Every structure is written in structure tokens, then in C-alpha cells.
Chains A and B, each alone.
Chain A
Amino acid sequence: MAVITYREAVGRALREALQDERVFMMGEDIGRYGGAYAVTRGLLDEFGPERIRETPIAESGFTGAGAGAAMAGMRPIVELMTINFSLLAMDQIINHAAKVRYMSGGQLSCPLIVRTVTGGGASVGATHSQSLEGWFAAVPGIRVAVPSTPHDVLGLFRAAMLQEDPVMFVEHTLLYSTRGEVEDEPYVIPFGRADIKRSGTDITIAAYSRMAVVAMRAAEQLESRGISAEVVDLRTLSPLDSETVVESVRKTGHAVVVEETWYTGGFGATVVGLIQERAFDYLNAPVGRVAGEEVPTPYSRYLEQASIPDEARVIQAVEAALGR
């Protein structure tokens, strides 16, 4: 057991992955600069410029090059500096990487990992603070991992390396410096297994990425108010572990779904839909939803804070669902 940061966990996962000769990395400033979030620092010296490939600022071009190399038998890991810039690579991810297996009748596959960074809270304004991972999760043919802890980063990245399909590996900007325990043995966390980060009996709080951390803090405070909340961290949006969510809600009879992005079209709506379809008879109250305010993320500190869900809003939603 060791305690490492989320950033270190990604770095460790990448070093492990690079032991495979088919693996190489591409992205903007991932070499000498060390990555915009300092995740890839040191990799250039260790693995050399053939395998740690710094690209021009051309997201569609290099993401597509990654997709092509994956189709030709390599195992590329592409870093998109933030998920906001994935919009310039959308064509390659959605029209090409996600489609080629199906459209070729199973002949081609595209085991491309796209690592990127989601979320707000860093005072970088509306173009740099979005949480778009749910959009990818809506597309068949792609997998989406959204780890919330260093432990999950390592286990999920190892699982990502075993996928035969494109994976969006979505890290959170505010989690990089968080710390957590990781086991020394090389464990794998298979995709599609949500994690009950905290068990409880009164209500289920389903969340992912940084909102799972927020949900945990809310649950601690709720405990002191006599409410026992179960926190289900989805860990992957695709595949979604519907079983664990449904089982938890059947047990607690109440649910709140939390996410950082906008209410309209948010991934949380899919989770709520699932709960009402499969656990309706167990529900004692409507399912609550906590989501980001429906505005472009503002720059100014207090406005930005007001736009992103926090513990207080989760607690409020939980109490409303429980009729307190």
C-alpha cells in the first residue's frame, strides 16, 4: 500500500502501459513541457521522442492518426489537453474510431485511448471548464471511464489497456493533487463495475468523477444529521453498471443523482431513467437530481462556485428526497 496523488497514478499507469512495444503517446506539449497538467513529465526522457510524440495543435489530425494507428495494430494513447478541445477531434472520435468496427462488419477495431481532462472550478472560463464526457457516453462504440480516486485511476487505466475499442479516459482537473491509497499488486478494475464508496441505508447518491468526491463529503455531513447515505461511484459511464445502481436504490428506497454538467441532456438523466424503469416500486419519493447551473461557466470566483454543485446542494437534495 502506498499513498500517491491522482496525477502520480496516471503517470504510473502510463509507464506501465509503455512497457508494451505497441504503445506510444501523442499529444500537445506532452514531451519537454511535461503535459499541460504535468502528467507526462519525465516520459520523454524515459521513452524517447519516437514513443512520446509531441504533436502540432491539430486535434483532429493527431487524434485521427491515433485512430489509424490503432486500426493498424498499435496501441496509441492520445492526450487531448482538455475535453473542451475534443470538440475539434469529434469527427475522428465519433465518426471514425467509434464506427469502424461495426461498419466493417467486425474486421477492423480501434483500440485507441484518448486521455483528457474534464471539469470546472479552475477559473479558466466557459471555454475551458466544461464536462462533456456524457456526450461520448451516448455514442455506441466508445467506452468512457471517469475515475475519482488514484486507486480507480490505476485500476481503470489497466482495464482501458485491455479494451478492444476506443476509450475516453477522463481525468478531472481538480482531482490531480488529491491523494489516496493504491495497492502494490497490479489490480485491474473491469469496466462496468460501479463502486459503493460508502454504504448506507437511507438513500443512494449516484455520482462520478469529482462529484463522487463531493458526494462522499456530503455523506459524511449527512451522517452527523442522522442520515445514512450510500454513495455509488459509477466509475465508467460506458458501460454503465446499472445493476449496482438499481440494487442500491432497491435497498435504500431513495436516490439522488449528482453530476457537474448541465441538467439538460446530462448523463444523470439516463441514470434517473434507469432507476424509474427498474426500481420504481421500491422508491418512496421522486429521484432527485443535482447538476451544474445552465450557464456557460463564469470566470469570476464566486459566480463560478455558484455554478458547480457542492456538498450543500447535495445535502439539500438528499433532505428534499427524504422529506426532511
Chain B
Amino acid sequence: MASGDKLDGAQLIDFYRRMLLIRVFEERSAEQYMLGRIRGFLHLYNGEEAIAVGAISSLQPTDYVVTHYRDHGHALAKGMDPNAAMAELFGKATGCSKGKGGSMHLFDLEKRFMGGHAIVGGQLPLSTGFALASKLRGDGDIALCFLGDGAINEGEFHESLNLASLWKLPVLFFVENNLYGMGATVEQMLAFHDEIYKFANGYKIPSVRIDGMDVLKVREATQEAIAHVRGGNGPFLIEAMAYRFRGHSMADPAEYRARSEEERWRMRDPITTFGASLVDGGTATQEELDEIRTEVEEIIDAAVQFAEDSPFPEPEALYDDVYGGM
């Protein structure tokens, strides 16, 4: 561990547990999708868990997180109850969004998880708004905004970086560069694809590129970025190199990429490699890690059961929450 952040064994094991919770959540979600209990679009986060856990574990509880439609990992890392998340995927009344949002639109206001947003780039202007609200009130809270490499093509990315920089807003932009936006590679779609993080420099925003497959490196970089952002120095941008192990969504067999490429990245699985390092370093035994897997599976299986047992929203709920009161 290179940063000044002193982590004890229990914390390291906790990162492992949090990453695994996301992985198992995604595995079970995929099964439930195949069973027809989860419908629509389902975008899984397998392979990118180190980013959500490394970054979000560095925040204060009142900091805002906002992200795209591949949002289960970010929601769970920000503390969303897995039951409420799974029930939302099932479209149940007990879901975090009462079944109105679905997989792509998870929300948890109490945890300051300000949503999965399914319009590519749409969360960027919102993130500057959260940061602006915090700055105007002097709250000291920051906004952490996740986006994909594909979102950089949208005007909203550029408009938001400019505004955030001009107004020195406390927002941390976090690009999850998983090399693809659906089936398109970053090379195909971005003229300046090889150094995405440098887009930020055009707006006078400092930035770094990091390895997104290593939870400790993500955490270290995020903490440095947060120190900058919370210190009133304006926004920061991190580009984390990662890979989604599955297709874009459950509907995508990922035929546009080589299996050998997938295999290469799977060798760097953020959970197994981190687990191995914990065992090698004597922080945990393999038995302890296996036990954690069992615990996590119990939590997620219970979430599936909860979702399954929960009622669908009553028909009368159709008109609830279109408008608020006067």
C-alpha cells in the first residue's frame, strides 16, 4: 500500500467482501434474468468491482454518487440494501424505487446515491448541480460522478467539465474505461482515445489514468483526487482502465471481441487477484475467504428470496409520484 491511507487487515478483508457482494449480486441477477424474473435491459458490472469499491469507500456518507445504467455495483458500494436493489430488478413494490425505475434507475436518497441514469452522459450535468448545491451551502460534500468511455462522445461531458472547472465545483469525474461502448471500441469512436484522461486538461482539470483492476490503486488515486476536490481546488478526473467480463447487457453475446482478449483480462480479475494477495500477505486464509463467499451468497440469496416474495406494485401505484404536493 503506497498511500498514506493506513489500512488494517479488517479493512482489506472488507474491500474483498464488498467486491464479492457485487460479483455475487451480478451472478444471481444473471440467473434471475434467464429465469425471466428480471426483464428489460440488465447491464452487469462483473470485472469492474474494484472501481466502485475502491472509489466509493473513500467517500464520506453525505457525499453524492451518481452514475450510469451499469449501476448495481455503485449502488451497493454506497450502501444500498441488496434486498431493495434486487427487488427493484424484479420490479417489486419493495424495490428501492418501488419498482418504477428498474435495473438502470436505482436510487437511494438517504445514502446520497443519486441514481443510475440511462441516458448516456445525462448524469454529468446533474453531478455538477449536486456539487454546486453543496458549494453554495458550504456543506463540504463532494459529488462523485461515474461515466463510461462512451459518454465522452456526448456534449454533456464537455459542457459539464467546462462548467465544473470555471466554477471550481467539488466534483470528481470518474471514467470507467472498459474499452467498449456497446460493440464499439474507443479507438473507433474517440479521436483522442489513447489518453482519454487528457480530455480533462483541455478544461484545466487535473487528471490521472490508473489501473481499475486493483482496488487499492483505485482507492489511493481516489483519495488523492478527493483531497484536491474537497480542498476547494475544483474538479478532478480519473480514468480507470478496466474491462467488463460480460456482454454490454444480457442481450449481448459480445461477438465483436476476441475470446482471447476476454481471457487475458479475466486473468486480472480484481477479486481473485486481490484475494490471492490477501492470502499471500498473510492477511487472510483461503478458508476465511471461502467463508466470506458463503456469507455473501447467503445475503444475496436472501435478497433474491426477498424479491421473489415481495408483491408487485398495486395498480393504483401507477399514478403515484408523477408530481409532488403543492
The chain A residues found within 8 Å of chain B, CB to CB, are 24, 50-51, 53, 55-56, 58, 60-74, 76, 91-92, 95-96, 100-109, 111, 140-141, 143, 162-165, 190
Contacts and interface: CB of A to CB of B under 8 A. Distances in A.
B163 interface: yes
B256 to A, nearest CB: 27
B156 A64 contact: yes
Given A58-B155, A65-B129, A100-B115, 4 more contacts: A56-B159, A58-B162, A68-B114, A108-B109
Given A24-B136, A95-B119, A65 B125 contact: yes
Contacts of B325: 164
Nearest to B104: A103
Given A24-B136, A61-B125, A69-B133, A105 B160 contact: no
B248 interface: no
Given A95-B122, A106-B321, A165-B324, A68 B136 contact: no
Interface of B: 64, 66, 95-101, 105, 107-110, 114-115, 117, 119, 122, 124-134, 136-137, 155-156, 159-160, 162-163, 166-167, 320-326
A103 B326 contact: no
Nearest to A238: B323
B129 A64 contact: yes
9 contacts: A64-B126, A67-B125, A67-B129, A68-B114, A68-B129, A69-B133, A104-B115, A107-B107, A163-B324
B95 A105 contact: yes
B129 A162 contact: no
Contacts of B99: 105
Given A71-B114, A91-B122, A104 B107 contact: yes
Nearest to A55: B163
B130 to A, nearest CB: 5
Nearest to B64: A72
A164 B324 contact: yes
Contact of A71 (B95, B129, B166): B129
Nearest to B105: A103
Contacts of A107: 96-97, 107-110
B230 to A, nearest CB: 16
A101 B136 contact: no
Nearest to B88: A105
B125 A63 contact: yes
B133 A68 contact: yes
A108 B159 contact: no
B137 to A, nearest CB: 8
Contacts of A102: 100, 321-322
Contact of A65 (B97, B110, B163, B326): B163
Contacts of B117: 96
Given A61-B160, A72-B134, A107-B97, A165 B323 contact: yes
Contacts of B155: 58, 60-61
A64 B115 CA distance: 14
Contact of A64 (B160, B167, B323): B160
